[in-house]
Amino acid sequence: MYRVFALIPPKSDLTIKTLLSQVETEFATSSVTLNGNQITISRGEWDFELLEQSGPEVLAESSDIAEKMAGQAEDSDVAACDRRIDAWSETPDPMLEYFEDYQRVVGLLKSFPDLIVIDPTEPSFL
C-alpha cells in the first residue's frame, strides 16, 4: 500500500483536470478515469487514486504537518496549504510489483513546480 500528499500552495492554479491530462499521458497504457475530484488509474489488479481535497480540515492538517517538519526546507509554505492531492493505492504489493508505478505517480506530482510532495507518514519531503 502506498500513500503520498501533494500540498497545493494558495498561489497555485492547479486543478484535478490539469493533473488528469498529465496522468493520462504518463499512464497511457492504463485505464484513467475522472469521477468528480478523483482520478483512478487502473491496470490489471492495480488501482491508484488521486483525490483533490480542500477546506479548513486540509489547512489544519497542513499546519500540523508543518509543525512536525519544523526545520526542513519549505516548511513555511506547508502550513498555508488549504488544498492537496491525496494519492494512494490500497492494492497489496508484497512483491513490490507496483512500486515503479508508485514512483511514476510521485515523479508526476513532483513535475508540477508549485506542488509540495510529502510522505504523510513521516512526514518528510519526497
How does DSSP assign 19-78, residue by residue? HHHHHHHHTTTSEEEEETTEEEEEETTEEEEEEEEESHHHHHHHHHHHHHTTTSTTHHHH
pLDDT at 123: 83
C-alpha cell at 87: 494519492
pLDDT tens for the chain, 126 residues long, are 899 999 999 999 999 999 999 999 999 999 999 999 999 999 988 999 999 999 999 999 999 998 888 777 555 689 999 999 999 999 999 999 999 999 999 999 999 999 999 999 888 888
CATH of 2-125, one of 3.30.310, 3.40.630, 2.60.40, 1.10.40: 3.30.310
Count of positions (residues) in the chain:
126
pTM: 0.91
